[in-house]
Amino acid sequence: MMHTSTLTTRQHARESIDYRAEFVIAPEHRDQVKFSSTSQAVNAHTSRGRATDMSPGGIGLILPEYLPRMTEGTVRVFSHHPTGTARDGTPIYDVVFEHRVKVRRVSLASHDPTYALGLAFVDAEPGLPDRIDRLKAAMRAEQETGSDQHDGGDGHA
């Protein structure tokens, strides 16, 4: 008898990255998914953390807030180096990658708490693999030249 698995498997190999990132809940999901005002979230619909891996199929994030599977939103990845300073002195970082995503995997990464999320790209356009390759190439170039001394701060655009 043949057994069919309901497990979701990866279709693309992921490569490790390390960038500031944020997840913004899609407007059509905001009635059901909100971050508490007592959480570390930027606001009721935006959480900031780190992008940890990426492939043509999706991106991995570490966030301080839990997101349910199937939640959709926009992931933004920020440059390593600030491009300016806000009035309050907070560094401003450019968005180097942005795309619509859907939460596919969620697991507790530590008891801080922090959560590891596996996000799939939604409606990926044909040029997406090239955009991802350029981002990863830029990160490798920074590492090779030793200019990847980005701080761990949470300043964003």
Report, as an integer, the average pLDDT of 82-111: 93
Number of domains in the chain: 1
Of the candidate ranges 38-42, 86-90, 135-139, the one whose mean pLDDT is the lowest: 135-139
The domain containing residue 140 runs over which residues?
15-145
Would 51 be classed as within a structural domain? Answer: yes
Any domain includes 5: no
Query: Can you give the CATH number for the domain in which 30 is found?
Result: 2.40.10.220
Residue 25 pLDDT more than 80? yes
- Could you tell me if residue 97 is inside a domain? yes
Greatest mean pLDDT range, 78-82, 115-119, 134-138: 115-119
User: In terms of Cα–Cα distance, which of 4, 123, 139, 142 is closest to 77?
Assistant: 139
Is the model's pLDDT at 5 over the cut of 70? no
Mean pLDDT of 149-153: 45
Looking at the DSSP bridge assignments, the partners of residue 86 are none
pLDDT at position 157: 46
Q: Check residue 1 and give its pLDDT.
A: 55
- Position 146 scores a pLDDT of 63
Residue 10 resides in a domain: no
pLDDT at site 124: 85
Residue 150 inside a domain? The answer is no
What tens digit of pLDDT does each residue of 43-84 get?
999 999 999 999 999 999 999 999 999 999 999 999 888 999
pLDDT at 152: 44
In a domain, 28, yes or no: yes
Q: Report whether 51 contacts 19 (CB < 8 A).
A: yes
DSSP string over the chain? ----------SS--EEEEEEEEEEE-GGGTTT----TTSS-SBTTEEEEEEEEEETTEEEEEESS---TT-EEEEEEE-SS--EE-TTS-EE--EEEEEEEEEEEEEEEETTTEEEEEEEESS--TTHHHHHHHHHHHHHHHHHHT-----------
Q: Which two tokens stand for residue 130?
A: 């090239």
- Residue 99 in any domain: the answer is yes
Say if 133 falls within a structural domain.
Answer: yes
